[in-house]
Amino acid sequence: MIFAIALTIGACSNTPEEVRTESGFKVDFLSDVEGPVAKVGDFVSFQYAVSNGESVVFDSREVGSTPQTTIPPTTNAKLNTSGVIEALKLCSKGDSVTVYYPVDSMATPPSGFEGKPFIIYTIKVEDVQDAAVYEAEQKALEEASREVYLTKKTFLDETMEAYKAGQLDGELVKLPSGLQIMIHEAGTEAKPEAGQTIFANYIGVLKSDGSEFDNSFMRGEPLQFPLGRGGVIAGWDEGFAQLGKGAKATLFIPSNLGYGERGYPPQIPENADLVFYVELVDFQ
């Protein structure tokens, strides 16, 4: 209950004892910050926890990304998240609220809520942005991400040319599995261990012709995955284990450490060798 306890601190005494959303969901204000409330079309960033009244069953802060939504003109009260959206329409930036969604209004209670009266959402509103302002900021971020991506892609193309010309032979780390690593920046001496979460940016291309099939830079945030748990291709699990935090490298991955005989249609054909430019942003 750490999330709920933290939000309860500093609850306002001048907020009405009982507030209801447009569909009648009960809302308790834990903190009420002066400012314009979210309106239809506004973009809202928030954190939330879900409780059954006895224990927290979900906390968005543990996921690693901030939930975001655009306030819609209407909501469907039959959806158990509708109470959250309706509560956000009562909030301004900095507000904290608890919303109560009746379990008996659901055909089948979710696991952990059998016999409980409410699904309890505790929400902290981090930001409320006008749609036009948000769209302008997103466009600026996309342009910045594209500039970064183009720089990285040019570097990868040059690295592949040097590799094919045999100019990197003396610098490649060659592992028994067949994986080859060109380390451009070493990063920290400490390396991630199996089970730790990796945060990485990357560009992936086919070794045969350099055609790109994926990249994280244009998405504006690194990919997260647990190391050594089979959540990514074997070449990544092995390759990232050799890198320190802050490292920049190019991984030359044979097909058996990639997607093998099946490939990953339509982007990656069967038996395709892959090349990834990667940056290990962090590991935890």
101 flagged as catalytic: no
Q: Report residue 226: phi and psi, to 5°.
A: -80, 130
163 flagged as catalytic: no
Q: Residues near 102 by Cβ (< 8 Å), separated by ≥ 6?
A: 117, 118
Exactly one of 121, 202, 277, 283 is catalytic; which is it?
202
CA 201 to CA 223: how far, in whole Å?
6
Exactly one of 59, 130, 157, 214 is catalytic; which is it?
214
213 flagged as catalytic: yes
Exactly one of 101, 276, 277, 283 is catalytic; which is it?
276
Question: DSSP assignment, residue 268?
Answer: B
CA 246 to CA 59: how far, in whole Å?
29
253 flagged as catalytic: no
Exactly one of 100, 155, 213, 225 is catalytic; which is it?
213
46 flagged as catalytic: no
Exactly one of 85, 119, 203, 233 is catalytic; which is it?
233
Amino acid at 183: I
Give the end-to-end CA distance of the chain in Å, rounded to a whole number: 24
120 flagged as catalytic: no
Question: Could you identify the residue written with the tokens 């939930």?
Answer: 67
Exactly one of 259, 268, 277, 283 is catalytic; which is it?
259
Q: Catalytic residue numbers?
A: 202, 213-214, 233, 259, 276
